Amino acid sequence: IICMPPPNVTARAHLGHASTYTPMDVLTRFHRMLGNNADWLPGVDHAAIATEAVLVRELRREGVRREDLGRERFVERAWDWSRTYGGAIEAQFRRLGFGPDWRRLRFTMDDRLSAAVRRVFVQLYREGLVYRGTRLINWDPTAKSTVSDAELDHVERDGTLWRIRYPFEGGGPAAGLEVATTRPETMLGDVAVAVHPADPRYSSLIGRRLRLPPLMERVIPIIADDAVDPEFGTGAVKVTPAHDPVDYEIGVRHALPMPSVIGFDARISDADVPVGPYAGLDRSEARARIIEDLRALDLLVAEDPHRHSVALSERSGDIVEPLLSLQWFVKAAPLAAPALEAYRSGRLRFVPERNGRTYEQWLENIRDWNVSRQIWWGHQLPVWYTPDGTEIVAESETEAYEIAQRTYGTRELTRDSDTLDTWFSSGLWPFSILGWPDETPELACWYPSQVLITAGEIIFLWVARMVMLGIHFMKEIPFHDVVITPLVFDAAGRKMSKSLGNVIDPIDLADRYGADAFRISILRQMRLDSQEMRYHESRCAEARNFNNKIWNATRYMLALPSGLPPAMTLPREGELTLADRWILTRYRETIERMGKLLRDYDFGSAAETMWRFVWYEFCDWYLEASKAEGNHDSRAAVLSYVWNGTMRLLHPIAPFITEEVWLALPHDGETIVTANWPDPLEVPAFASDARHFEALQRTVERVRNVRSELGLHPRDRVVVDAPADVPDEMTALLGLLAQAAIERAPASGRTVEEALAAVGVRAPRELLAERYRKEAEQLRSEIDRGERKLGNEAFVAKAAPAVVAKERQKLENYRGELARVETALAQLKETA
């Protein structure tokens, strides 16, 4: 069971989807063919912020604001939009051959999934794991909503570090404490200046008071706190608890007041403290004005360029404003502990392993999760307030009214207008899609799933939260293996982005090269341990050629005069040719290897394995060998047997062409989708015959090499002297594959390999002499290397005996070969 990470309803298929979803499809198809009850459960995410942004943009074009429309109509419109465009990604996934269980498609906003969301929220609230409180949150002024820590991008920017003098209370402007800041506009909300307790420069000043510029209306203390780095700036830091995370912590530690001076509109606000003429100014205008005024007051000491990191909202790209706000939070630590334990105990496993450490680190330092969002599209908080502001958390309005009536004696309730963070509902995905909280059969059978495949960037946003909530509500981790796929970059190694114009559209590639070609291309470029992948479109064309090769090979087989017999019966062992035995052996090895690779999630190697087997072994060697004399009787059966199975091995990777070919071959069943995965134990293997065939391949290559040096036309035969102890079966293959005319020579070897090595090619004396000289030279250098190595007493004494023996064997072989080459060379001279 694999739960599909729900793509955003706003999304269009991109390479990132392809690199994570193709492996899921491969695994599901593989396990289905193995006879497992494999299912891939699809779904779509309502993508609150993204969808809302799309709608707001649409409305703006119509000259309407969200507020003009009203919540109800806006949400209706979001539903319409989701229904109209939400299917697009499904159609695209189908186009790419993804075969999840489409009948089970779920949407995070479905009634049942929404009910699950309410149940979880209410239960967590009643357990004290959801609470409402005023905390420092990340405010996105563009989206006009909070965003979670995990949804921030920290970007290095060039800014300015201003040094400002805060005068001592009662003193003149010249005497004071200098602080350094990159955000002077927040100083209106300063409540203290902090120094490090052990900083000798300032220890005598602790407890003294400063007049707060530029208004000079408030007086603030100098305090000591460990969070201050004496090395940075002046070693004195202004403390603005309402607008900075560190300052907030300091404020909490010292019980300082926390006045807000920047509002939700990112403008200076006088709600809590006087802000003088700056009230209503935008944050950047306010900054400029305050700098100007400080300069006029002679309190601006220095202005230095400073590179620092700025927090941007992932969604809007706007600079996030830390603000104090009354919001809803999930208490994370109690949920994180069992999620950590699951990883440390090995029940939850990451592939590649290093991603586990990322997960671990985040959970160790987890902070409470702000889950309330000030947008309309999403799951509205199941929270109501009585007229005096008492909160009532209930699964339904009816229940809320009951509680209100019973407990507070009122029927007057207002519902909280906030919605939940999108990741709250996706955090329930592995069980909410199975019908939870109802005790459905699906839930009983399919939870937990086995593997989650996703991108590394959402380990925190999604993976960790699914584990936390899964353990909490289901008492069990939601999946055992987490496979993190590489990030896809363009061929030059750049991130794909619309602004760079380097985005590759998988649908476009599928249209031009075929969906199978696209799938193969992306799988082949995946590396198990790699965190990135550079996508080359040329791989698509190569894969298209690969498919074409399959197609043509199939045509050859279907056109055999004998026709193809049923796939499941092989000739008796005695009737198998050398080539048959070799390809069967290789086929069996390939089945074994594919099983292992797919179980290990090594999709790149799996694709590569099939590529090599199909093209470089089956087509290049076996098909060609099958045309040789003496190979005709058994070939149709072996071709039918091996090719049928090869299509099944390839099916998870390339579902379309394998179905088409498989149906054209003798087959058993209606569709390859439900055909059996080949069983390696049923395939006969012939290790020593396979080695002999491989020795023959080397001989063929050697003859071809000479042919090429002779500049022979492909149709011209080259004469070859084959020792009498080279079997007829082999000389027939040699004749065909190397386009050679065979002459028999006296027997010369003890083994087939040696006999093959003694196969001589007739060619002009100079050319042969040159070849022999080169070969001899090569052999002598190898012999020299071996002799030196074995002459090294330390090596013989200390190296593993097997290594030494192997070295001796090699040396002996080289000496034998050299002797043969030298003899041949001498004979050449004699006949001259």
Partner RNA sequence: GGGCGAUUAGCUCAGCUGGGAGAGCGCCUCCCUUACAAGGAGGAAGUCGCAGGUUCGAGCCCUGCAUCGCCCACCA
Q: Which of residues 451-490 bind RNA (CB under 7 A)?
A: 456-457, 460, 487
741 makes contact with RNA (CB under 7 A): no
Q: Please pick, from the candidates 357, 411, 599, 744, the single residue that binds RNA as defined by CB under 7 A.
A: 357
798 makes contact with RNA (CB under 7 A): yes
Q: Which two tokens stand for residue 362?
A: 């985040």
Please tell me the total number of residues recorded for the chain in this structure: 832
Q: Is the distance from CB of 113 to CB of 107 less than 8 angstroms?
A: yes
Q: Is the distance from CB of 381 to CB of 425 less than 8 angstroms?
A: no
Q: Give 407 or 548: the residue with its C-beta nearer to RNA.
A: 548
- Distance separating alpha carbons of residues 137 and 130, to the nearest angstrom: 16
Three-state SS string over 812-824 comes to HHHHHHHHHHHHH
- Distance separating alpha carbons of residues 554 and 552, to the nearest angstrom: 5
In angstroms, give the least distance from the CB of 807 to RNA.
7
549 makes contact with RNA (CB under 7 A): yes
Q: Give 214 or 235: the residue with its C-beta nearer to RNA.
A: 235
**Beta bridge mates, 487:** 532
Binding segment for RNA among 61-69, 396-404, 656-664, 791-799 (CB under 7 A)? 791-799
In angstroms, give the least distance from the CB of 472 to RNA.
22
Q: Which amino acid is at 764?
A: P
Q: Give 279 or 811: the residue with its C-beta nearer to RNA.
A: 811
620 makes contact with RNA (CB under 7 A): yes
In angstroms, give the least distance from the CB of 708 to RNA.
3
Binding pattern for the stretch 585-614 against RNA, x by CB under 7 A and - elsewhere: --------------------x---------
In angstroms, give the least distance from the CB of 418 to RNA.
23
244 makes contact with RNA (CB under 7 A): yes
412 makes contact with RNA (CB under 7 A): no
- Residues of this chain, 681-710, that bind RNA according to CB under 7 A: 701, 704-705, 707-709
Q: Which amino acid is at 380?
A: Q
Q: Which two tokens stand for residue 107?
A: 């949407």
Phi, psi of 256 (to 5 degrees): -85, 155
In angstroms, give the least distance from the CB of 735 to RNA.
12
Outline where 317-419 has alpha helix (H): 333-344, 354-364, 397-403
Q: Give 228 or 672: the residue with its C-beta nearer to RNA.
A: 228
227 makes contact with RNA (CB under 7 A): yes
Phi, psi of 172 (to 5 degrees): -85, 180
Task: Find all residues with CB under 8 Å of 750, minimum gap 6, and list them.
Answer: none
Outline where 63-165 has alpha helix (H): 66-69, 71-85, 87-95, 111-126
Q: Please pick, from the candidates 246, 496, 664, 824, the single residue that binds RNA as defined by CB under 7 A.
A: 246
Let me know how many helices (H) and strands (E) the chain has, helices first: 29, 28
792 makes contact with RNA (CB under 7 A): yes
- Residues of this chain, 172-201, that bind RNA according to CB under 7 A: 180-183
Q: Please pick, from the candidates 5, 97, 141, 233, the single residue that binds RNA as defined by CB under 7 A.
A: 233
- Distance separating alpha carbons of residues 69 and 29, to the nearest angstrom: 47
Q: Please pick, from the candidates 237, 351, 523, 752, the single residue that binds RNA as defined by CB under 7 A.
A: 237
- Residues of this chain, 758-787, that bind RNA according to CB under 7 A: 782, 785-786
Binding pattern for the stretch 525-544 against RNA, x by CB under 7 A and - elsewhere: x-x-xxxxxx-x-x---x-x
619 makes contact with RNA (CB under 7 A): yes
Q: Is the distance from CB of 159 to CB of 182 less than 8 angstroms?
A: yes
Q: Give 687 or 803: the residue with its C-beta nearer to RNA.
A: 803
Q: Give 110 or 368: the residue with its C-beta nearer to RNA.
A: 368
Query: What DSSP character marks residue 102?
Result: G
405 makes contact with RNA (CB under 7 A): no
- Residues of this chain, 24-83, that bind RNA according to CB under 7 A: none
Query: Can you tell me which residue has the tokens 């076996």?
Result: 622
Q: Which two tokens stand for residue 391?
A: 């909160």
Q: Is the distance from CB of 447 to CB of 476 less than 8 angstroms?
A: yes
Q: Give 122 or 533: the residue with its C-beta nearer to RNA.
A: 533
358 makes contact with RNA (CB under 7 A): yes
Q: Which two tokens stand for residue 5?
A: 């990470």
- Distance separating alpha carbons of residues 689 and 727, to the nearest angstrom: 12
Q: Give 47 or 320: the residue with its C-beta nearer to RNA.
A: 320
- Distance separating alpha carbons of residues 320 and 312, to the nearest angstrom: 5
Q: Is the distance from CB of 763 to CB of 706 less than 8 angstroms?
A: yes
- Residues of this chain, 555-574, that bind RNA according to CB under 7 A: 555-556, 559
Binding segment for RNA among 34-42, 101-109, 571-579, 799-807 (CB under 7 A)? 799-807
Q: How many CA atoms lie within 13 A of 806 on its CB side?
A: 6
Q: Is the distance from CB of 24 to CB of 97 less than 8 angstroms?
A: no
Binding pattern for the stretch 134-173 against RNA, x by CB under 7 A and - elsewhere: ---------------xx---x------x------------
- Residues of this chain, 295-354, that bind RNA according to CB under 7 A: 306, 308-309, 354
